[in-house]
Chains A and B, each alone.
Chain A
Amino acid sequence: MGRYIIQRVALGLAILLVAISVLYALMITLPGDPTTVFLGPRATDEMRAVFSERLGLNNPVPVQILQFWGRIFSGDLGEDVLRNRPVATPVFAALPNTLILVLASIGWSAALGILLGAFSAACRNSLVDRVTGVLSVAMLAAPSFVVALWSLLIFAVVLNWFPAIGAGEHGDLADRIHHLVLPSFAIGLAWVGYIARIVRASMLEVMGENHIRTARAFGLPPHKIIYRYALRIAVLPAVSVLGVGVGGLLSSAVFAEIVFARPGIGRLIYESVISRNYPVVMGSMLVAIAFFVMCTLAADLVNAMLDPRLRTSKKS
């Protein structure tokens, strides 16, 4: 297990390094001088020279990339030149809101999706199975920003059950959860159907395997066979899909944060792009990439926890 974790973490770090390098390469290959890109067209030559010196833009490109790595890993995401503050300040202020939103969306949608999928497989061709099947496709087909707008209209404006905008008062947990409901509903909805379909298909496959016949031949209670013996194997593909799908969730989060006016990474990226604040865009992108890499890593580790065959290195 230890070796497996080290392998996975090392791979994650390598991916992160490559992603950071690519991001940096994108910046210096953008049309025009990076100083113009960063400082805007109205910067003076003097300002540009100072800026180039400070960012090490006069060094060879590989050295620049190494220096960039160094700055990133010491927590320096660059400087928000437009507002004269470190990029890290707005990014890390926005990050927790996005993390909470994404994790809450994954949490409720995965839990419900897995249960629905297991139930559909256990009662195949029942009414619940058919209804879940139709709903799953419907949920998958609905774009998250449409769901966000409609749920905002119905639950916040017409019914007035949930607040329409913001992330709630700091320190007031109930209020923050109250503000979380609609955005996480909008983002997670598509995933419920998706996860339910994956789990149902893999559950049906697992239920036909010999070891399930063995469990039944020993008279184990049906709910135990389904939820303990089969589901644990059937969720493996769903976990992998979730790990990668977090990227998709992040982009849905951009919409949700704009629609619900939640302070978060998505909205920060959007606003920075609008105001051409490239350092902040880059800093937020970096954090988003790191989050994505960590999520795929987490998915691998969860799978290794569930499936012992993954964590033993192949001997024969």
Chain B
Amino acid sequence: MKAALDIRDLSVDYHTRAGRLHALRNVDLLVPDGEVVGLVGESGCGKSTLISAVLRLLAENAEVPGGEIVLDGTDLLSLSDAEMRLRRGRDVSVVFQDPMTGLNPVLTIGRQMIDIQHREALSRAARRERAVDMLARVRIPDPASRMDSYPHELSGGMRQRVAIAMALMMNPKLLIADEPTTALDATLEVQIIELLQELQGEIGCAILFISHHLGVIAELCQRVVVMYAGSAVEEGGVRDIFHAPAHPYTKALLDCDPGRIRERRQTLPSIPGSLPDLTAPPPGCIFADRCTKADAGCGATQPPRIDTAPGHWATCHFAEAMR
């Protein structure tokens, strides 16, 4: 299976006042060519750090002690800054979460869409035409005149369409969608998801889709990666993950999804406890403190990666028993 993105054993540390914060620890993540992979996990689990690491736009106090980020056969961590810059937006591009602040407020949409074609050997008129064409493909009405609009003149849904148009204009091999619908209301969310599905079919890029919304993940993705506190704890096909989770954290996360609760109840379920201190992670399983299944062994030894089915693994001592 050829991979658009293959992250192997990636770790990222932040230097903070409290000490070294291990934001990502030995993360493995595979996005096969042309597939949509979902990434789920609660806030603070390292999703944003992962995106920044792939784009090599980590904060100044971050350090990558080890691992590989292989995009289309090249390890991005081995590239020079200039080589990496050439790949951003062309080989890998991103749609960010907040459409209200993601576009430059003092430049027109058209100007920004033309500027990002800076690597293309095209005339200015051709760039403009391409941008208008792309706006039409994301169903912006009257695209030619919208080119002269400023971001504040568009609604949130429109701006997110513009962001998608920008991200897909250079036909990237990988699109990272960082909660692209979280800031939008439900009807817009459906429209944006359908648009992404359609464009992905046309362009054939792989998508790494990050979301809290399990329903959207189930709808859109073929594979799912579950992250907890800086580690990938389970990865598998979308049906396996949703119907036969092999990690207690995945199961707890699914149980908390309001969309899956059948009977009326007073309080919504939650996972008791909170994220561990990542400046001093526990020696054993990172989830042991909050896990209902944990025994003495869990706190002492790190669980290995256990394959429970072809293409489905989890890092839990009880992975086999969970199924």
In the complex, 23 of the A-B residue pairs with CB atoms within 8 angstroms, ordered by the A residue number, are A209-B101, A211-B102, A211-B104, A213-B96, A214-B104, A214-B166, A216-B55, A216-B57, A217-B55, A217-B57, A217-B89, A219-B85, A219-B87, A219-B88, A224-B115, A229-B107, A233-B104, A233-B106, A307-B105, A307-B106, A308-B105, A312-B152, A312-B153
Closest partner residue, chain A, to B60 (CB atom): A124
Where chain A touches its partner, the secondary structure class is: helix
Q: Does A306 contact B (CB under 8 A)?
A: yes
Contact B119 A306 (CB under 8 A): no
CB within 8 Å for A308 and B152 given contacts A213-B57, A217-B93, A219-B119: yes
Contact with B along A109-151 (1 / 0, CB 8 A): 0000000000000000000000000000000000000000000
Give the 10 A-B residue pairs with the shortest CB-CB distance, closest first: A218-B89, A219-B88, A210-B101, A218-B116, A308-B150, A211-B104, A219-B85, A219-B89, A217-B94, A210-B102
Output the least CB separation between B281 and chain A (Å): 28
Measured CB to CB, the nearest residue on chain B to A125 is B60
Q: Output the least CB separation between A214 and chain B (Å).
A: 5
Asked whether, in the complex, the Cβ of B96 is within 8 Å of the Cβ of A214, the reply is: yes
A42 at the interface (CB under 8 A from B): no
Cβ contacts under 8 Å, A307 to chain B? 105-106
Q: Does A31 contact B (CB under 8 A)?
A: no
| Contact yes or no, B106 A219, CB < 8 A | no
Number of interface residues of A (CB under 8 A): 22
- B255 interfacial contact with A, CB 8 Å: no
List residues of chain B with CB within 8 A of the CB of A214.
94, 96, 102-104, 163, 166
**Cross-chain contact B152 with A309 (CB below 8 angstroms):** yes
| Complex: A211 Cα to B112 Cα, angstroms | 11
Q: Does A232 sit at the interface, judged by CB under 8 A?
A: yes
C-alpha spacing A218/B115, complex, angstroms: 9
List which A291-312 residues lie within 8 A (CB) of chain B: 306-309, 312
B118 an interface residue at 8 Å Cβ cutoff?
A: yes
Query: Does any Cβ of A come within 8 Å of B86's Cβ?
Result: yes
Q: Does A177 contact B (CB under 8 A)?
A: no
- Residues in B with CB closer than 8 Å to A216 are 55, 57, 88
A-B contact count (CB 8 A): 75
- By the criterion CB–CB under 8 Å, are A215 and B104 in contact? yes
Interface residues of B in 132-155 (CB under 8 A from A): 150, 152-153
Interface of B is mostly: loop
- Min Cβ gap A93→B in Å is 42
Contacts of B118 in A (CB 8 A): 219-221, 224
List of A residues within 8 angstroms of B166 by Cβ: 214, 218
B22 at interface by CB-CB < 8 Å: no
User: Closest CB-CB distance, B185 to chain A, in whole Å?
Assistant: 16
Question: In the bound complex, do residue A219 and residue B57 qualify as a contact, i.e. CB atoms below 8 Å apart?
Answer: no
Residue of A nearest to B100 (CB): A210
Cα–Cα, bound, A229→B151 (Å) = 14
Is A232 a contact of B152 with CB atoms below 8 Å?
Answer: no
In the complex, the answer to whether A217 meets B88 with C-beta atoms within 8 Å is yes
Answer yes or no: B98 CB below 8 A from chain A CBs: yes
B20 to chain A, nearest CB (A): 21
- Judged by a CB distance under 8 angstroms, whether B90 is at the interface is yes
- CA–CA, A218 and B88, complex, Å: 5
A308 pairs with B88, CB closer than 8 A: no
CB distance from A203 to the nearest CB of B (A): 14
CB-CB nearest in chain A for B97: A210
What separation, in Å, do the CA atoms of A60 and B134 have in the docked complex?
70
B161 to chain A, nearest CB (A): 15
Are A309's CB and B90's CB within 8 A? no
A315 — nearest CB in chain B belongs to which residue? B153
Q: How far is the CB of A235 from chain B (nearest CB, A)?
A: 10
Taking the nearest CB of chain A, how far is it from the CB of B60, in angstroms? Answer: 9
Residue from the set B87, B89, B104 with the largest chain A CB neighbour count within 10 Å: B104
Complex: A215 Cα to B96 Cα, angstroms = 12
Question: With a CB–CB cut-off of 8 A, which chain B residues contact A229?
Answer: 104, 107
> Which A residue sits closest to B55, measured CB to CB?
A217
Chain A hits for B90, CB < 8 A: 219
CA distance A115 to B16 in the complex (A): 32
Q: A residues 216-248 with Cβ under 8 Å of B?
A: 216-221, 224, 228-229, 232-233
Shortest A238–chain B CB gap in Å is 15
Beta-carbon nearest neighbor of B117 in chain A: A218
Write out the residue numbers on chain B whose beta carbons fall within 8 Å of the beta carbon of A232.
Answer: 106-107
Instruction: Verify A210–B89 contact, CB threshold 8 A.
Output: no
Given A219-B86, A308-B106, answer yes or no on A210-B150 (Cβ-Cβ < 8 Å). Answer: no
Beyond contacts A217-B88, A229-B104, A233-B104: 7 other A-B pairs, Cβ-Cβ < 8 A, are A211-B101, A214-B163, A216-B88, A219-B119, A220-B116, A221-B118, A307-B106
Q: State A233–B150 Cα separation when bound (angstroms).
A: 14
Of B86, B89, B119, most A-chain CB atoms within 10 Å: B89
A233 to B105, CA, bound (A): 8
Contacts of B104 in A (CB 8 A): 211, 214-215, 229, 233
Q: Which residue of B lies closest to A211 (CB)?
A: B104
Which residues of the partner chain B approach A224 to less than 8 Å between Cβ atoms?
115, 118
Q: Once bound together, how far apart are the Cα atoms of A308 and B153, in whole Å?
A: 10
CA separation between A280 and B89, bound complex, in Å? 65
Do the beta carbons of A210 and B98 come within 8 Å of each other?
yes
